[in-house]
Structures are given as structure tokens and as C-alpha cells.
Amino acid sequence: MSETDLPKEHLDTVLETPEPIPSKPAKSRGNGLALLALLLGAAGVAVGGWGVWQLRNLQSGHQQQVGQLQDIDAQTQVLKQNQQLLATRLGTLPGADELEDRRRLVAQLQGDQQRLSERLETVLGASRQDWRLAEAEHLLRLASLRLSALQDINSASALVQGADEILREQDDPGAFAAREQLAKSLAALRSVEQPDRTGLFLQLGALRDQAITLTALAPEYEDKGGSLLGLTSPGDASDSHWAQWWDQISHYIRIDFSADKDIRPILAGQSLTQVRLALSLALEQAQWAALNGEAKVYSQALAEARNVLQSNFNQDNPQSKALDERLQALVNQPVSVVTPDLALSLSSLQAYLERRHAPAEKPAVQAKQEAPQ
């Protein structure tokens, strides 16, 4: 039913009677408005903070863009300077003709340098070969000197072998004759036995030390008859003046009417040192002769040493007997050799050196003769 259908009186009553307003809902509405205001304030603060943060981000981005723009500007300036420098250099570059001339000059210089290096290498190589050949000649001279002065077969063989090695390194057919003579000299040297002079010297030195210790002299004369020419009788006292005198003189004089062997002189008291000295000097002379290859002096010195030993020392003593046998064995040891002559090898090498230098000297002589006066 609508308002038009209500009775008029009832409608006026309704319009005239106001509805009461409750007090409690009004208080709740005020609290809601305060809460809404707080929420709106908080939202405003948040919006303001967010706006400040965005502003700062925008300022930072702007500063970065400004820095990048400055870097780009600096790079642009560097590029402009490089372009200007390049343009300046391009303006100073030579032309194609000048570049071609310079290329030909560089090629010519490189060729001259290469030819100079080859010539220098050739000259140095020839100098090295000449030095080596001169060394070979020096080795041969030294080998000849050692043979003539010291009779040193081993050292001479090593020196000749070294000279042959130098000629072999040359690989020159012209050195065939020189190498042939060197081979003959080497064969002659190797066929000669080198005497052990050092061994002989040491053995004789050992015998000298042994001779110093010899003390067994030749036995003295002993009168076993008891009297001499009837001057004394067996009944006389042994301590008589005549007996004492005869005992002293018997050391110097021997009278033996039935002697059937060689009687050697009696040594004086101080003669033991003299005999040792004589024997030592004879052995020392033999040592010198052994080192210097003097066969005659060596034999004479050993014969003198044996003579001193046999004449003054007791041959029945084992030490004297062993020393005499050792000296007899050393007498037969060789101390000198017949050395081959290296003159042919040296002359052959010198002839090769002359032939080697002759072609280099001949053009110089011809040029000097053909030069205008």
C-alpha cells in the first residue's frame, strides 16, 4: 500500500511526530571520524616519505646522468684531439713515390748488410783456420823439442796426434801429404817403448835410503897363530904392552903369507860415514842419469855404487847381498831411447801452409805490378 492509499489523518500524524535520535550511536560516529582522520594522516605521512624517497632517487639518477654526460664529453674531446692529430700526421705523410724510394733504400741497405756479414764471416772463418794451422805447427815444434831434450815419447805422441786432428778438421785435400808424414811419425813414435825413468828414479831413491842403514863392514883381520915372526910366544901375557900395540896396528896392516883371496883394506873408525856417503852419491848420480836419459852415466854410477858396496861391506850379510843384487838388476834397465825425427813432418806441414797462403798473396802481387806508375 502506498502513501496515497493511507488516510490523510494518519499521514499527518506520521509527519508531525518526530522520531527520537539515540545518543549512543552519535558517540561511535565521533570515534570513527577520529580513527579515519588518523588513518588519513598516516597515509599522508607515508605518501610524503615515499615522495621524498622518490625525489632523492631522481636526484641521484640525475647526478649519475650528469657524470656520464661529462665522461662522454671528455671522450668526445679526446676523439676530436685524436682526429686532429691523425689529420696532421696524414698531412705530413710522404707520397707514394717517396715511400717507394724509401722502400728501395731499405732493401738496398739490407742487402749491403747481408753481404758485409757474409764477408766478415768469411774473413773470420779464414782467420780461425789460419790460427788452428799455426797451432798445429807449434804442436809439431813442441813435440820435436820434447823428443830432443827429454826423450819424452808419450808427450810427443800426444802432440803429434793433436796436430793431425787439426789438419783433419780442415777437410782440405791439399793437406794429404802433411797428414801422411804425420801418420808415419805417429807410427814411429808408437813403436818405441818409453822407459820408466820415474820408476827408476824412485827405486834408486829407495836403495839410497837402504844404503844409509848398512852397518856390516868387511871383517877385520884376526891373528889366529898367536905370534908374529917370533916376537911373541904363547906364554907371554895377553895384556903386555907389545900385544896391545899389535892389536891396534892390526886394524891397518895385514900380514898373511898363505892368503889365497883378495884382501881389502881395513876401514878406519870414522870411515863408515864416508863409505855411506860415497855409496849415496853414486846412487844419486844414477838417479840424475835415469831422469835425463844418460845411459853411459847411469851405468858408470851403478858400477861405482856396486864397487863401493862390495869393497867395504860384508857380502855375507843378507842386507848387503840383497842391495848388491838389486843394483845388478837395475844396471840392465834402459834409460835412453832412439827417438824418431819429426823434421819431415814439420817441413811437410810448413809446405802446406805456404801453398795455402800463396793463392791469396798472388793477386795482391799482380795488382801491385799492374798498377800505373
- The C-alpha cell at 323 is 842391495
Residue type, 224: K
**One domain, residues 217 and 127:** no
State the pLDDT confidence band at 28, using cuts at 50, 70 and 90. low
pLDDT for residue 298: 93
Cell 632523492 identifies what position?
Answer: 56
**How many domains is the chain built from?**
2
**One domain, residues 141 and 180:** yes
**One domain, residues 213 and 284:** yes
Q: What is the pLDDT of residues 183-231, one digit of tens each?
A: 999 999 999 888 888 899 999 999 999 888 887 665 554 444 444 444 4
Max Cα–Cα distance, the chain, nearest Å: 228
> Is position 257 within any domain?
no
**One domain, residues 269 and 181:** no
**Domain harbouring 152, CATH code:** 1.20.120
Q: What is the pLDDT of residues 54-80, one digit of tens each?
A: 888 888 877 888 888 888 888 888 888
> Is position 309 within any domain?
yes
- The C-alpha cell at 30 is 565521533
Rounded Cα distance between 302 and 295, Å, is 11
The C-alpha torsion from 74 through 78 and 80 to 82, rounded to 10°, is: -170
Residue type, 22: P
Contact indicator for 195, 334 with CB cutoff of 8 Å: yes
Coil/strand/helix, residue 263: coil
Rounded Cα distance between 218 and 204, Å, is 23
State the pLDDT confidence band at 316, using cuts at 50, 70 and 90. confident
Contact indicator for 320, 309 with CB cutoff of 8 Å: yes
Note down the domain range covering 317. 197-222+238-250+265-331
Coil/strand/helix, residue 313: strand
Coil/strand/helix, residue 332: coil
Residue 235 scores a pLDDT above 70: no
**Degrees, nearest 5: CA angle 162-166-172:** 145
Rounded Cα distance between 65 and 62, Å, is 5
Range 142-146 average pLDDT = 91
**One domain, residues 201 and 180:** no
State the pLDDT confidence band at 26, using cuts at 50, 70 and 90. low
> Is position 347 within any domain?
yes
**One domain, residues 127 and 214:** no
pLDDT for residue 125: 56
**Model's pTM, two decimal places?**
0.47
pLDDT for residue 264: 53
Contact indicator for 299, 200 with CB cutoff of 8 Å: no
> Is position 366 within any domain?
no
Rounded Cα distance between 228 and 313, Å, is 28
**One domain, residues 310 and 204:** yes
Rounded Cα distance between 309 and 278, Å, is 10
Contact indicator for 218, 314 with CB cutoff of 8 Å: yes
More confident residue, 46 or 285: 285
Lowest mean pLDDT among 125-129, 289-293, 351-355: 125-129
**One domain, residues 168 and 282:** no
> Is position 5 within any domain?
no
